[in-house]
Amino acid sequence: MAIVSLEKLIEEFRKMPSVGVKSAERMAYYILGLDDEGTKSLVDAISNAHESIHTCKVCCNLTEGEKCGICDNPNRDGSVICVVEDPRDVAAFERTHEYKGVYHVLHGVISPMNGIGPDNIRIKELISRMADDSVNEVIMATNPTAEGEATAMYIARLLKPMGIKVSRLAYGIPVGSDLEYADEVTLTRALAGRNLL
C-alpha cells in the first residue's frame, strides 16, 4: 500500500528548513506532476548549484568563481569590512545600494548551546585579513540577538588590540513601524541612541 519512493521523497523535503509535513507532501505531488523535462530541470539545478557554488577565498561569501563579485570589484572600498552571519545578509546590504565597502561572511554565530564555538565559524579568516594594513574599520553586522551580540563582542575584543576601529550597527525603531508595537528593549535603545535635529 505505501508508495516507497513517494515516502522517501516526502522525507527528503521534510529535512528542508521551514518545510512541514503538508508542504513536503504538496512538493512531492508537484514532482509527480512534472514531465521528464521539468524533473530534469529541477535535478540539474540542484546538482549544478551544489557543484559550482563555494565560498570566496577572501570574504567567504558564496560565489561560482575564485573570488566573489564584490571582492573582485576595484570600485569597492577594501578598507571597510562589514561582518555578517550569512550570505543572505550580504544580499540585504547590497539592496540598499549605499554600502561601498566589502564584506566578511561568518557562516553562523558563536552558540555554545548548539556546540558552535569560535573555531566553527569563519573568524580565523577574518583575522587573517587584518594582515593587510589597508583595513581601517570593521562593522559588526551580526543579528541583534543574544548570539549575534556575543559574537560581535568576541570579535571586537580580538580586533581592537590590533588597532582596528570596530563599530556596530545602530539599534532603534525600524523605519515605517508603529511605536505602539515597539518592544521595550528596542525603544530603550532608540531613546539612548537619539540624535539632535
DSSP 51: H
Taking phi over 0 as left and psi of -120 to 50 as alpha, with beta for the rest, 107 belongs to left
Give me the residues that bind a copy of itself (CB under 8 A), please: 1-6, 8-9, 11-12, 15-19, 23, 25-32, 34, 36, 39, 41-43, 45-50, 52-53, 62-64, 68-70, 73, 86-88, 94
Amino acid code (one letter) for 73:
N
Write down the least CB distance from residue 113 to a copy of itself, Å: 19
Nearer to a copy of itself, 10 or 81 (CB): 10
Using CA atoms, how far apart are residues 193 and 167, in angstroms rounded to an integer?
14
Nearer to a copy of itself, 49 or 185 (CB): 49
Nearer to a copy of itself, 43 or 185 (CB): 43
Using CA atoms, how far apart are residues 32 and 88, in angstroms rounded to an integer?
31
Write down the least CB distance from residue 91 to a copy of itself, Å: 9
148 burial type by CB count under 10 A (0-12 exposed, 13-18 middle, 19+ buried): buried
Cell of 176: 515605517
Nearer to a copy of itself, 66 or 188 (CB): 66
Using only C-alpha atoms, the chain has a radius of gyration, in whole angstroms, of 21
CA atoms within 13 A on the CB side of 138: 26
Nearer to a copy of itself, 26 or 157 (CB): 26
Contact 154, 110 (CB under 8 A): yes
